[in-house]
């Protein structure tokens, strides 16, 4: 049978562990000021920010997944606190707590949530900090899969390849990113530092995709006449969005 002193020690350790079981809820406006602007309008955080904008307006802009977004904001808050810690054990425990809430938002957000690329990029940043490089790379690849021209993720993944001595992959990552964004100045400059001059047209992949989607469907051999097509048969062009070329590691880019 365990002695009472041993039981007490175990209980204390459990309580300490629980304190890092999740990210930190927002305590004051000073913490809110270090987070993306939309955080002030999320559930629970708006109780501290007293944001006058109805949450329904945020949902109209970001979609239904906005109702889960406070978990992402909590995770970023924990990351901010971790960055201020000098003790590695406490720092890593705080980041692991943040990753718990990152997992929550990634599990519950819809696949088309507009902020997913930034969330995956933030997840990668935390994983790299914890030396979990292979997991971080997977997160960056997911961000880029969702938005091939997402500068923060492209730049970070390229830097990772440089760090492990795979210059070829770093160059190809940058080229693919430039092909998929018109705001490519930063990526072009990174490519130049690797000794390569970009020869193509920034955003060319986006334009090709738009042309393919805007093209009318091929006529069916069985079609009686062009008038038999119904409205909406032709694919509609996708409106490409761009991201700032500056501040490539922007944590809060839309």
User: What pLDDT is attached to residue 254?
Assistant: 39
Whole-angstrom distance, CA of residue 24 vs CA of residue 81: 9
Q: What is the mean pLDDT of residues 153-181?
A: 98
User: What pLDDT is attached to residue 158?
Assistant: 98
The structural domains of the chain, ordered by start, are 17-112 (no CATH), 115-212+243-254 (1.25.40.10)
User: What pLDDT is attached to residue 26?
Assistant: 94
**Which pTM does this prediction carry?**
0.77
**Contact assessment for residue 96 and residue 109, using Cβ atoms and an 8 Å cutoff:** no
What's the pLDDT tens digit per position in 70-126? 999 999 999 999 999 999 999 999 999 999 999 999 999 999 999 999 999 999 999
Residues contacting residue 251 through CB under 8 Å, at least 6 positions apart: 36, 76, 118, 121, 122, 125, 152
Whole-angstrom distance, CA of residue 39 vs CA of residue 41: 5
User: What pLDDT is attached to residue 219?
Assistant: 54
User: What pLDDT is attached to residue 160?
Assistant: 98
């Amino acid at each position: 049978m365990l002695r009472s002193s041993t039981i007490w020690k175990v209980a204390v350790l459990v309580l300490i562990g629980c304190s890092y079981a999740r990210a930190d809820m927002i305590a004051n406006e000073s913490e809110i000021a270090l987070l993306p602007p939309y955080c002030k309008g999320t559930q629970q955080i708006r109780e501290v920010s007293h944001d006058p904008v109805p949450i329904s307006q945020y949902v109209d802009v970001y979609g239904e997944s906005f109702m889960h977004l406070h978990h992402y904001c909590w995770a970023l808050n924990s990351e901010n606190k971790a960055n201020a810690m000098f003790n590695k054990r406490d720092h890593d425990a705080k980041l692991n707590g943040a990753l718990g809430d990152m997992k929550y938002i990634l599990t519950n957000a819809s696949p088309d949530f507009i902020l997913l690329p930034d969330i995956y990029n933030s997840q990668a940043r935390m994983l790299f900090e914890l030396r979990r490089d292979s997991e971080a790379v997977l997160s960056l690849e997911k961000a880029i899969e969702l938005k091939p021209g997402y500068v923060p993720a492209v730049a970070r993944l390229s830097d990772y390849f440089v760090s492990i001595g795979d210059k070829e992959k770093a160059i190809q990552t940058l080229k693919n990113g430039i092909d998929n964004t018109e705001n490519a100045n930063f990526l072009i400059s990174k490519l130049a530092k690797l000794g390569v001059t970009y020869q193509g047209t920034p955003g060319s992949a986006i334009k090709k995709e738009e042309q393919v989607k805007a093209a009318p469907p091929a006529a069916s051999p069985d079609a009686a006449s062009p008038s038999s097509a119904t409205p909406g048969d032709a694919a509609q062009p996708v409106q490409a969005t761009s991201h700032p070329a500056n501040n490539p590691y922007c944590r809060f880019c839309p």
